[in-house]
Structure 1
Amino acid sequence: MPPALSPELEELAAFFQRCGLTEQRATETARSKTAPAARDLFSSANLDNAPLDDKQGALVLQLAKDGAKLSPEAKLYVVNAIREGRLLKSDQITGKSRATLSRARTAVKYLGATVPPVDDTAFDQACGVGFTITPAELDDRVRAYLDSPSNADQVKTGWTGISRVTGAARQSDALQWVNPLELKAAVEKAYTERFGSKEEATKKAKAQAEQAKKEAKAPKASTSAAVAAPAAESPDDMFATGWLSRLHKPGGNEQKYPERMKEHLAWTGGKVFTRFPPEPNGFLHIGHSKAIAVNFGYAKYHKGHCYLRYDDTNPEAEEQIYFDKILENVRWLGYEPYQITHSSDHFQELYDLAVLLIKKGLAYTSNDTAEEISAQRGGKDHGPRHESKDRNKPIEQSLAEFADMKAGKYEPGQMVLRMKQDMESSNPTMWDIIAYRVLSKPHHRTGTEWCIYPTYDFTHCLCDSFENISHSLCTTEFIGARTAYEWLCDALEVYKPRQSEYGRLTLEGAITSKRKLLKLVTEKHVSGWDDPRLHTLVALKRRGVPPAAIISFVSGLGVSVSASLVQISRFDQTVRSHLEMTTPRLSLVLRPIKVTLEGLPDDYCIEVEKLYHPKDPSMGTVKVPFTREVYIDEDDFRAEASKDFFRLAPGATVGLLNAPKPITYLSHETDPTTGKVTHIVCRYEADAPASLKPKGWIHWVAKSAAHKSPVEVHETRLFSRLFKSDNPGALGDKYLEDLNPDSLSVVKGALIETAVWDVVKSSLRRAKEVVELRKAEAAKNGTEAPPNVEGLEVVRFQANRVAYFCLDSDSKVEENEDGSVGGGELVLNLITSLKEDKGKKA
């Protein structure tokens, strides 16, 4: 349950109710980020004294959110147009549906480009107020659109390009407010006049598709991949061998209606088309990285295309941040969608097909309760099944009740639409599953236009069909759903994609259940969805795990039908291997102890030159100060010598990494209260022969005011496993009892060498260069440039003899006017530990 409203928010929610919003919508609005803008607009329009109905109020809320740049007078004009019933749909306000995304003529855009006073007639025309059109007028406008020279290249492709032409026509000024189904029929009519029947055209297209398949002998990269695409060690392995290599070729999925395959190949040209279809009701996790790599990678390998399709059919669970982060995650992993689509793009088509299913006698409305439906399916005891009392009601009655559902005459749970399948089947997905239900919450894209929403089982296969998906790839928990998937496509006589299932990725120690993750976040067991101890993609990103390492990990596992619990050590090793050769090395002292070197003058200071990476000289070198005062880590000193300890101790001589000569212990001081060592005095062995080889070497940083050395780290965050067991997800609701209380350790006051600023500068510069490359690639392809999806986590380095670290987003980096970086507050995250050799000495 959401937390109770504060007194201030309760007062605000009451205000919105007085303005006409329902209690639920008023409460949601009071909690939202739009609340201040909505309050100001509702107040200025005096809606608390002259309330609107709830649907009109929802349109005003949309105006408050999307019309922030309008003048107060313009906003009030739109509110009055809503009150007068001139503006009835969300499309008329800001054009949220895919068909209106590129239109310049909606209320907000029109008024944003208009100098007062507003011409009512021009405004109404721009916003489709009172729009009507006769069939003859529609035919004339379609012919005029097709005859336009600017559309010649699209039109000349004939039937193969009709979907694109129809979609573009819906965005034209002359046709933008036409009913989509009526427009589709008019375009098909015009195409038949110009190019003959679709059946004749598909015969020719089939021959072309066969030729295209012959020419595509060697799989190559997709044109839709981002410039910064991930580079796995063997990125094509999982597509060239194993389960994915044995999938059907385009056109190889059998159809009950063969003409559907002809149309499909005519549209795709024989190319592979896949989709990544996440539900925008949570953050993606490590398991989704496999789905992304499989769907985008398979299309890329076969020179095809992959959609990012949001399965947004449940507005009760969807939030804008999930949409934003899903796209960010896909781009972060190195992929660029062929198109970004939504299931809601097809709400009208889906509704029309549901009506058709009823007319075919294959769907019926039912007021059965959830308990009654469960009993019909055998109940908890898996007893005998029986049909619903509504299963054989007259088709006309179901049509009328379905129309009433759409009109908002039923509350949630009072009426559903069920598919009439096979109650005798052994497959539960064929037991008259629900196709449509009533939901009271408005949709983020369609507003209050719909109060009924299709279920996943009704939507998914049809959207795959609409988008001409050649390979519908999903995880094995959907094997049972394949029967219903194919049944519905055949029942509606549409193109039937082939669903193929692979084993899901589960990582040892990781929780991937959205419900369980939500509880961890809301009950503050973790700091948020991006807490680096989680395995959401936003958390892995914040922890500094390179996206290329994730793709390499998935590729290395391969793809099969078997689900497996992968050891976390295998994931860590993949990340470690990637970082080993791609990150510079710096000296970081986590828990510093001051060491004074006797034998050196107080002002002694030399610069020691060292490689950023001893195995890769191309990374360059850096000079660090070496002075009379240095700091070492407390783990590198013991107050009592022992035979198995080869670092600094009484009587020991050790080497300082990259320093000219070794040092020998003389004495140390301790804090009288805590007993901790606070100061060590050593002798600098300036005259030691070159042949002297200490048994142990330790890292250090020097104190030098002239070099502003060392740099103090505000916080160093060390992470270990969040859960004690390997499979906390198997513990049910007891998983919280498995939390590791020591999963986070915060170290204050660590010291790092000054070269960290050069690493910060170069890392951020490279990230910016990648952004520019991505923009150039987008300009070349004529597509929208993807935004920068990287953050401070791109600053990664190996701390000598400690671990791999990155900058956390809580860091504050100060950039100078010349582009240099020389200050700020550093917060470090542990990415992963160093690999320890089994025989390594202490």
Structure 2
Amino acid sequence: MNNKNNKYNNNFIYNIVKQDLKENKCLLLHTRFPPEPNGYLHIGHAKSIYLNFELANLYNGYCNLRFDDTNPIKENIKYINSIKNDIKWLGYQWNKKIHYSSEYFLQLYRYAEELIKKDLAYVDQLTKEQIRKYRGTLITAGTNSPYRNRNIEENLKLFEKMKKGHFNEGEACLRAKIDMSSPYIIMRDPVLYRIIYKKHHQTNNQWCIYPMYDFAHCISDSIEGITHSFCTLEFQDNKRLYNWILENTSVSHYPKQYEFARLNLKYSILSKRKIKILIEKKIINNWDDPRIQTISGLRRKGYTPSSIREFCKKIGITKQNNLIEFSMLEYCIRSELNAKAIRTMAVLDPIKLYLYNIDDNYQEIFTVPNHPKKPELGTHEIIFTNTIYIEKEDFKEKYEKNYKRLKIGSEIRLRYAYIIKAEKIEKDINGNITQIICFCDLNTLGKKPINRKNPAVIHWISVKNSHISEFRLYEKLFNIHNPEQEKNFLSFLNPNSMIVKNGFIEKKINEKIQTKINNIEIKNKNLFFQFERVGYFCVDLVDSKKNKLIFNRTVSLRDTWNNKKAKNN
């Protein structure tokens, strides 16, 4: 991707980089994106990806992809593969090979030994609970561990024993020797290494001690020659430890760490831990459920790489935490799909309508545009007969003053076709409407009605031209602005976050889609449609079957969610 012509937001990090490059003409910008492979990427990660890759592209620098894989208990190769696919799908390519913190394990071990030799690290045998208790609180200083004053030689031997598997998990750890009375809890002798007897996805069973994220992170940045290490504000205090480790080891390169506000999106959960709870409790189906804002979920819902990049560009990079309106994310995809989505008709909640003055064998073909403002997108044909489906909500049996669509004695126009008038209804033994009987004015094709008002327009599908399909209508998963802040966040679930409808699309549209999704080259690309008056949809390539397509609603035609909430308030 060539970004030289892309307008990049003028933010404080951009200004820092610009100034650094101005002061050091020989500096080659080198950023990195360091995900932990313990879950799928979400929209918050997309913001970080956008920042790191776009800056590197802008200044002809490099951006590394490095998996910070220091905890084999939580990590999985499936997450690594998903992360790689998501980054490529977003339109970015990392510098040369993929890096792993695990490839530096021996170097990290040597740096840990160096700290011990400088009497800046020691093997502690307090339990986790004791370490937590000894650390103190925000208002009380910590207490030195009874093992803190072990001599250097003893610590080196014990650390080697840890490496060789002579201790059980939790029986010993390596801690930095800094200051137990520091006002920053992160500096109160943080743990640098712990024991984990678990096969690692990269190193197998070669190691049974693993560095903590804070220890591995800064040294990995140094080894890779990272110039600017960007992270979110919750790591602001960790910067002290980041710099302490670099300053007290013999690393030859000193990256600079800068913090920016993480992305907080209204009505959304981005915490990987909480997403796992949603999956375990079967509230959502998986990491790619369209109701969550993982990259996989957004892709399946119909979001495009360009819409996500545009969203990241619009929200910018700041140092102030705030909640971003979900409608801004929807605006970005709605604007894009409005320009390129093929228009067609679908009936999601059908009711049958019979035009009694048209012969049963009558059939008329209309050629209609694929896009009202883009003739280059072509046309397609629709079939008109005397029996059609319309939406149930487009007919009211009982009179309502402000209802502008079809009711007994009133007229509406069928999209691209004739004006019809409802005269009576038929019901089954349970009182359910089975058919609306209408008169069709065959003199109104493409014409305004004579001596009467222009009626409302509704969409429709001929019964003979219909193919059954499933439609999944998605709304926000939560009913409150910030579910991340709620301890019992499951209490605020929206019961209508997914509504399934069984309706119809046109037969020819179904045939075209089936042909395309069977084409290997585009099997993983979304197929977009604007179902007129209903919303923007894409084909669900995961659950669709040959005999029945499934469509996910990407976004409504307008921001109906906030409109509803405004009315309720």
Q: TM-score of the superposition, structure 2-length normalised?
A: 0.92
Q: Is 1:492 aligned with 2:263? A: no
**Map of 1:698 onto structure 2:** 458
Deviations 1:116-152 (A, max 9, x none): xxxxxxxxxxxxxxxxxxxxxxxxxxxxxxxxxxxxx
The match for 1:530 among 271, 284, 288 is 288
C-alpha contact 2:174 2:193 (8 A) present in aligned 1 = yes
Distance in structure 2 (CA, Å) of the matches to 1:684 and 1:475: 63
Shift of 1:342: 0.5
Distance in structure 2 (CA, Å) of the matches to 1:766 and 1:221: 31
Shift of 1:578: 1.5
C-alpha contact 1:220 1:302 (8 A) present in aligned 2 = no
C-alpha contact 2:141 2:182 (8 A) present in aligned 1 = no
Shift in alpha-carbon separation, 1:503–1:751, aligned structure 2, 3 A: same
**Map of 1:503 onto structure 2:** 261
Aligned partner of residue 485 in structure 2, secondary structure: helix
The AA in structure 1 aligned to 2:243 is E
Distance in structure 1 (CA, Å) of the matches to 2:202 and 2:14: 38
Aligned partner of residue 390 in structure 2, secondary structure: strand
Shift in alpha-carbon separation, 1:327–1:291, aligned structure 2, 3 A: same
Deviations 1:20-63 (A, max 9, x none): xxxxxxxxxxxxxxxxxxxxxxxxxxxxxxxxxxxxxxxxxxxx
Shift of 1:756: 2.0
Shift of 1:602: 1.7
Shift in alpha-carbon separation, 1:517–1:608, aligned structure 2, 3 A: same
C-alpha contact 2:345 2:531 (8 A) present in aligned 1 = yes
Shift of 1:608: 0.2
For 1:533-612, list aligned pairs within 5 A. Answer: 533-612=291-370
**Map of 2:524 onto structure 1:** 791
Shift of 1:652: 1.1
**Map of 2:441 onto structure 1:** 685
For 1:258-297, list aligned pairs within 5 A. Answer: 270-297=27-54
% identity of equivalent residues:
36
Distance in structure 1 (CA, Å) of the matches to 2:501 and 2:373: 30
**Map of 1:817 onto structure 2:** none
For 1:473-484, list aligned pairs within 5 A. Answer: 473-484=230-241
Shift of 1:550: 1.2
Shift of 1:321: 1.1
Distance in structure 1 (CA, Å) of the matches to 2:89 and 2:291: 19
Shift of 1:795: 1.2
C-alpha contact 2:3 2:54 (8 A) present in aligned 1 = no
The AA in structure 1 aligned to 2:460 is W
Distance in structure 1 (CA, Å) of the matches to 2:246 and 2:13: 24
Distance in structure 2 (CA, Å) of the matches to 1:523 and 1:360: 49
Aligned partner of residue 500 in structure 1, secondary structure: strand
Deviations 1:396-421 (A, max 9, x none): 11111111111110111111111122
For 1:222-241, list aligned pairs within 5 A. Answer: 235-238=6-9, 241=10
Shift in alpha-carbon separation, 1:665–1:610, aligned structure 2, 3 A: same
For 1:423-438, list aligned pairs within 5 A. Answer: 423-438=180-195
- More strand as a share of residues: 2
After alignment, is 460-469 or 544-553 more displaced? 544-553
Shift of 1:347: 0.6
Shift of 1:252: 6.4
C-alpha contact 1:221 1:302 (8 A) present in aligned 2 = no
**Map of 1:452 onto structure 2:** 209
Distance in structure 1 (CA, Å) of the matches to 2:88 and 2:243: 32
Shift of 1:253: 12
The AA in structure 2 aligned to 1:832 is V
Shift in alpha-carbon separation, 1:528–1:688, aligned structure 2, 3 A: closer
Deviations 1:471-490 (A, max 9, x none): 10110111101111111111
**Map of 2:566 onto structure 1:** none
Shift in alpha-carbon separation, 1:836–1:468, aligned structure 2, 3 A: closer
The AA in structure 2 aligned to 1:629 is T
C-alpha contact 2:269 2:292 (8 A) present in aligned 1 = yes
Distance in structure 2 (CA, Å) of the matches to 1:321 and 1:688: 59
Deviations 1:511-545 (A, max 9, x none): 11222111111111222222211122221121112
C-alpha contact 1:250 1:271 (8 A) present in aligned 2 = no
Q: Is 1:833 aligned with 2:556? A: yes
**Map of 2:567 onto structure 1:** none
Shift in alpha-carbon separation, 1:663–1:251, aligned structure 2, 3 A: closer
Distance in structure 2 (CA, Å) of the matches to 1:655 and 1:615: 21
C-alpha contact 1:586 1:755 (8 A) present in aligned 2 = no
**Map of 1:441 onto structure 2:** 198
Shift of 1:272: 1.3
Shift of 1:762: 8.1
Distance in structure 2 (CA, Å) of the matches to 1:614 and 1:593: 27
C-alpha contact 2:141 2:181 (8 A) present in aligned 1 = no
Q: Is 1:752 aligned with 2:505? A: yes
Aligned partner of residue 413 in structure 2, secondary structure: strand
**Map of 1:718 onto structure 2:** 473
Shift of 1:836: 6.4
The AA in structure 1 aligned to 2:485 is A
The match for 1:304 among 47, 61, 65 is 61
C-alpha contact 2:21 2:27 (8 A) present in aligned 1 = no
Distance in structure 1 (CA, Å) of the matches to 2:42 and 2:392: 37
The AA in structure 1 aligned to 2:532 is N
The AA in structure 2 aligned to 1:682 is C
Shift of 1:247: 1.4
Shift of 1:791: 2.5
Distance in structure 1 (CA, Å) of the matches to 2:398 and 2:520: 48
Aligned partner of residue 66 in structure 2, secondary structure: strand
Q: Is 1:400 aligned with 2:143? A: no
**Map of 1:472 onto structure 2:** 229
C-alpha contact 1:606 1:627 (8 A) present in aligned 2 = yes
**Map of 1:109 onto structure 2:** none
Deviations 1:186-234 (A, max 9, x none): xxxxxxxxxxxxxxxxxxxxxxxxxxxxxxxxx9638xxxxxxxxxxx9
Distance in structure 2 (CA, Å) of the matches to 1:592 and 1:719: 19
Shift of 1:642: 3.3
**Map of 1:189 onto structure 2:** none
The AA in structure 1 aligned to 2:12 is W
Shift of 1:761: 6.2
Distance in structure 1 (CA, Å) of the matches to 2:93 and 2:19: 22
**Map of 1:727 onto structure 2:** 482
**Map of 1:214 onto structure 2:** none
Shift of 1:249: 4.9
For 1:406-421, list aligned pairs within 5 A. Answer: 406-421=163-178
Which consecutive residues of structure 1, in runs of 5 or more, have no partner in the other structure? 1-218, 223-233, 255-260, 770-789, 815-823
Shift of 1:813: 5.6
**Map of 1:212 onto structure 2:** none
Shift of 1:766: 9.6
The AA in structure 1 aligned to 2:552 is N
The match for 1:803 among 535, 538, 542 is 535
Aligned residue pairs: how many? Answer: 555
Aligned partner of residue 533 in structure 1, secondary structure: coil
Shift of 1:427: 1.9
Aligned partner of residue 290 in structure 1, secondary structure: helix
Distance in structure 1 (CA, Å) of the matches to 2:86 and 2:219: 26
Deviations 1:151-199 (A, max 9, x none): xxxxxxxxxxxxxxxxxxxxxxxxxxxxxxxxxxxxxxxxxxxxxxxxx
C-alpha contact 1:606 1:626 (8 A) present in aligned 2 = yes
Shift in alpha-carbon separation, 1:302–1:766, aligned structure 2, 3 A: farther
Distance in structure 1 (CA, Å) of the matches to 2:246 and 2:472: 52
C-alpha contact 2:141 2:180 (8 A) present in aligned 1 = no
After alignment, is 296-305 or 452-461 more displaced? 296-305
Shift in alpha-carbon separation, 1:479–1:542, aligned structure 2, 3 A: same
For 1:300-449, list aligned pairs within 5 A. Answer: 300-338=57-95, 339-379=97-137, 382-449=139-206
C-alpha contact 2:476 2:497 (8 A) present in aligned 1 = yes
- More helix as a share of residues: 1
Shift in alpha-carbon separation, 1:220–1:336, aligned structure 2, 3 A: closer
